[in-house]
Chain A
Amino acid sequence: MTKKFHRDVWVGVALLAFCAVVFFLALQISGQSAVVPITLTVLMAVCSLFIILKGLRLTKAQEGEFHYALTVKDSKNAFLFMGFIIIYYLLFRYVTYWIATPVFMIFAMKHLKVKSWKVNILITVLYMIICYVAFVIILQLPIYKVGVLGRWFRYV
């Protein structure tokens, strides 16, 4: 049976590949402006090698399965929620904050197991009122410029 590598080995390899791409991009920069990015990339590559070496040391010392506090596989909930946040951003960007936010908040609270609709809606309404007073009326944030329906919520 082949021994499994510690994940730091793969992380180091991925970072090394990232450094190679950045190094290639840094070489395209003209003149003195390239010196710092190139130097940083080389140093990052050295760090990546150290990460790989540490990973190999941990692999060598392995007894049984590796146990990690957090893994990509176990983080499905987090990545799914990140997807919701991205959808929220798109609604904010293309519709308006004042519609995107209540939709997101109500949906997110329901997803996160707030059972009572009353509580859910009350918190959303309170947040929206406070937010509107603070950002639009007091701070005069030109948020009406964002999204096609933004101008409907302009405070005159």
Chain B
Amino acid sequence: MLEYLSAAIASFASIEVLLALTVGVVGGMVIGIIPGLGPSVGIALLLPISFSMSPTAALVMMTAMYTTGVYGGSITAVLCHTPGTAASAATTMDGYELTKKGRGMEAISVVTVASVVGGIIGAVCLILFAPALGKISLMFSCLEYFLVACFGLLVVSGLTGDNQAKGFFSALLGLLIGCVGMDSINGVSRFTFGQLWLEDGLDSTPILIGLFSISQVLVLVDKLLRGSSSTIVDDPAAGLKGKRWEKGNGKKLAPTMMRSSVIGAFVGFIPAAGCSIAAWISYSIAKQTSKNPEEFGKGSIVGIAASEASNNAACGGALIPLFTLGIPGSPVTAILYGALLMHGLQPGSGLFTGGKAVTTYAIFLGFLFANVLMGIIGLTMAKQMARICLVPNSVLVPIIVALACIGTYALSNNMMEVVIMLAFGLIGYLMKIFEFEPAPLVLGVVLADILESNFRRTLIMAAPKGGLIPYFFSRPVAIIIVLVILGFALAPFIVKAVQKKKA
């Protein structure tokens, strides 16, 4: 591998590749910032442009856009309560609260550092362990996907807020919303009311934009017209006086970032799991293991670091099954799969031996340096970006609405997506009034299809093997995941019991 890596460095250090890297990084950040548009739209746009480029330059540009697109989505999540992608939704909870306190610059810096750390760890996993991890991902089947989704659902318990019944209701409603459309196993229509556009189900992105962005716009309007707040920050005079990086943040955040990055890379390499589930799981684990869990949701930098390190590490993880097995686990990796084939790179062991290995490792190096460049740009621009929170709400509100509408339309060039987004904006505002948490609902929508379809596929696969229980015990990976889930679920009770005994 070392010989391939040294040759890859030489191949990487060309003007064409470096230029492609810069375009990918900047383009990804910009496209991630626009609500609704994510890396998948950006990469799809790059496909025809990259046709005449070398495979290394083309794939470096696209993978750079993938990781920086996820990061870009977090910038607006932190500053305007508008997550660009589902992967940034978890960051909104603490990032926006921190911005309101006039610590927007620090929030952006934590997002940047955590994203870079996560991205680099994901890239290192990709470079060092891709072939080995690729074999492990082959051990995952419907049952394991289902169990990972169950793990994701367990996260809900940490997001329910003060009233647990309301939190669980939100999560169940999210799962029910995920049932809308044609059943992927039987082809039966559910809750479509004869509407053809509902057959494909409801995409999570318009729901996310509505719940987080439009509902927050309504809150801002209400505050503004009542004269209680004219900018996002509570005290505009102290808006940018907060430090970029508090002393001791590094020491405080390092363990969370490392743990979340490993979780992110692991969840990322499981096809169909993805960045958003990784972010929620890491956020919830960070909350459970924190000495100050009450700070979460009120502007905890640990919460921001957990979700950000994880979602960027998941990008690197998601590339592992793509390059080693040709399994695209998400829309973004599916487009990247097409790009690999377009440039004559057939995923599989062939990419890690011979002449093509140099190109493969050059792409991986590009992915690694994309994270570094993203960090440099992000930290340099932190102050400028944080200025958004000083823009008067009277100006910001119409811009957010107009941008949310066109961004949602751009998702699939369909006006019905805009209707869904606005409907969930109103629902989100009503949820704020009646003190329901929107985060469990989003998580429910994201997990619904993975949970149901994989569970039913598991039942079909288990039938010839004597049923679900014998099938479960024949799958070691499933047993390990169940043990992890049980550990996660029981850990708080065990810790409490031990503390009680000590007292």
Contacts and interface: CB of A to CB of B under 8 A. Distances in A.
Interface of A: 7-8, 11, 15, 22, 25-26, 29-34, 36-37, 40-41, 43-44, 47-48, 50-51, 54, 68-72, 74-75, 77-79, 81-82, 85-86, 88-89, 92-93, 97, 101, 104-105, 108-109, 112-114, 119, 123, 127, 131, 134-135, 138-139, 141-143, 145-146
Interface string B189-201: 0110000000000
Given A29-B190, A51-B169, A89-B418, A108 B163 contact: no
Contacts of A141: 406, 409-410, 413
B305 interface: no
Given A15-B169, A33-B186, A47-B172, A92 B418 contact: yes
A134 B425 CA distance: 25
Nearest to A30: B188
A97 B408 CA distance: 13
Interface stretch (B138-146, B263-271, B354-362, B387-395): B387-395
Contacts of A105: 398-399, 402
Q: Is the interface of B mostly helix, strand, loop or mixed?
A: helix
A104 B401 contact: yes
Given A33-B188, A40-B176, A112-B224, 10 more contacts: A29-B188, A34-B190, A44-B172, A50-B165, A88-B405, A97-B405, A105-B402, A112-B398, A131-B403, A141-B406
Contacts of A41: 176
Q: Is the interface of A mostly helix, strand, loop or mixed?
A: helix
Contacts of A37: 176, 179, 190-191
27 contacts: A7-B434, A8-B434, A11-B434, A29-B188, A29-B190, A31-B188, A32-B185, A32-B456, A33-B186, A33-B190, A34-B190, A37-B190, A47-B166, A47-B168, A50-B164, A54-B165, A77-B225, A77-B226, A79-B218, A81-B217, A85-B422, A88-B401, A92-B418, A97-B406, A101-B402, A105-B402, A141-B410
B210 to A, nearest CB: 11
B406 A135 contact: yes
A4 B291 CA distance: 40
Contact of B166 (A51, A68, A112): A51
B190 A78 contact: no
A8 B406 CA distance: 36
B394 A112 contact: yes
Nearest to A74: B222
A108 B397 contact: yes
B176 A78 contact: no
A47 B419 CA distance: 28
B183 A33 contact: yes
A72 B433 contact: yes
A146 B417 CA distance: 13
B490 to A, nearest CB: 22
Contacts of A26: 190
B422 A146 contact: no
5 closest A-B pairs by CB? A50-B165, A112-B394, A47-B169, A78-B218, A33-B188
Contact of B433 (A40, A71, A109, A139): A71
B398 A108 contact: yes
A113 B190 contact: no
A88 B397 CA distance: 14
Contacts of A30: 188
B339 interface: no
B434 A77 contact: no
Nearest to B402: A101
B172 A77 contact: no
B314 interface: no
Contacts of A77: 221-222, 225-226
Contacts of B491: none
A144 B164 CA distance: 46
Nearest to A15: B169
Contacts of A51: 163, 165-166, 169
Nearest to B436: A11
Given A40-B179, A88-B401, A75 B190 contact: no
Contacts of B422: 85-86, 89
A54 B399 contact: no
Interface in B4-43: 34, 37, 41
Contacts of A15: 169
B202 interface: no
Interface in B44-58: 45
A137 to B, nearest CB: 12
A71 B226 CA distance: 14
B452 A36 contact: yes
Nearest to B404: A85
Nearest to A52: B165
Nearest to B403: A131
Interface string B432-443: 111100000000
